[in-house]
Amino acid sequence: MDTFIYEALPIRVRFGRGMVSAVGAEVAHLGATRALVLTTPQQETEGRRIGALLGSAFAGVFPGAAMHTPTDVTDAALDALKSSDATCVVALGGGSTTGLGKALALRTGVKQVCIPTTYAGSEMTPILGETKDGLKTTIRSLDVLPESVIYDVDLTLTLPPALSATSGVNAIAHAVEGLYAQDRNPVISLMAEDGIRTLADALPILVHEPHNVEARTKALYGAWLCGCVLGAVGMALHHKLCHALGGSFNLPHAETHTIVLPHAVAYNAAAAPEAMAAITRALGAPDAARGLFDLVRALGVPQALSQIGMPADGIERAADIAVEKPYWNPRPIARDAVRDLIARAYAGERPG
């Protein structure tokens, strides 16, 4: 076995149905007596239900979380936090809400209980991406790592089928890139392979039966594993591409990941044979890139960037941005080959 470094992140996790009832206990465990609940506008009602569970520790809801953590939203949430006297936030929602909690922790040191309701995995990472004046900057710091995470399967039952599918493939993308990361290690690779396997088993069921508790449980467990991978090792071309495409054309986060992933894997296949073997084992398919493409097709979500708002004349620009300050990648980044990758993702072609 190669030499490696493995660093465990200090996050406390509760997992299972009905676990949200322990939210008050988690807040108390962090030494806090007042907690501000964070949500998107769409999940404010659920946030108030969490508030009822908190009893006297409930310090109100800030229902303004938005995609890509805009700093003006964080400023408004900081005011709400200050006037609430809370020393803890409870972030209920997907990556957008988790991002807001992290942004508040970075500025104030406030403790965080995360209750994820999508499969994005941000709750397991010391990573925060923030947007100011249309520019996204990403930092990696233990200061933003949540102290406590509650995975309650019941709260994911309402996640719409299409969002379940794309959010789940977003999670798979973390695991796929973790398998060929420069700083990969055998413990994280175990999590990555199992994360892909559990999500690939569960997602095709969920798109038809969104209330299937067994499939929801598997998917949330898989998302947790994939989030651990994202938090532990570096990402490569796929994440760089999605970052560039999302930022340049304002494309939706999870959908972009879902479309690009099979093509990024095809690009890296020859340079990362062990990772490809793990992905094919997890998918039960003979080829990693085509297996992922077929999984996405079975989920019935868009497979072409042209379908989610990317302009045709954006392909060259996206290629330029994607090769600027590249992340480490198992196969060297060649502009023409990356341009072809983007063109295939734009058209929604099955990898050859």
Sites of contact with ligand NAD (CB under 6 A) = 40, 42-43, 67-68, 93-97, 99, 117-118, 120-122, 125, 127-129, 155-156, 158-159, 163, 167, 230, 253-254
- Looking at the DSSP bridge assignments, the partners of residue 137 are 130
Check: CB of residue 61 under 8 Å from CB of residue 39: yes
Which regions of the chain does DSSP assign to beta strands (E)? 12-15, 35-38, 58-62, 88-93, 111-116, 127-132, 135-140, 148-151
Which regions of 268-307 does DSSP assign to beta strands (E)? none
Tokens of 190: 């175990």
Check: CB of residue 114 under 8 Å from CB of residue 146: yes
- Residue (156 or 189) nearer to ligand NAD, CB: 156
Q: Which residue is nearest to ligand NAD (CB)?
A: 95
Q: How far is the CB of 129 from ligand NAD (least distance, A)?
A: 5
Using a 10 angstrom Cβ sphere, with 0-12 exposed, 13-18 middle and 19 or more buried, the burial of residue 234 is: middle
Tokens of 23: 């939210």
Q: How far is the CB of 164 from ligand NAD (least distance, A)?
A: 9
- Residue (122 or 148) nearer to ligand NAD, CB: 122
Q: How far is the CB of 117 from ligand NAD (least distance, A)?
A: 3
The single-letter code of the amino acid at 75 is D
Q: How far is the CB of 65 from ligand NAD (least distance, A)?
A: 7
- Residue (216 or 263) nearer to ligand NAD, CB: 216
- Residue (117 or 329) nearer to ligand NAD, CB: 117
- Pairing status of strand 58-62 against strand 35-38: parallel
- Residue (124 or 272) nearer to ligand NAD, CB: 124
- Residue (148 or 167) nearer to ligand NAD, CB: 167
Q: How far is the CB of 77 from ligand NAD (least distance, A)?
A: 15
Q: Which helix (H) or strand (E) holds 113?
A: strand 111-116
CA 315 distance to own-chain centroid? 25
Q: How far is the CB of 346 from ligand NAD (least distance, A)?
A: 21
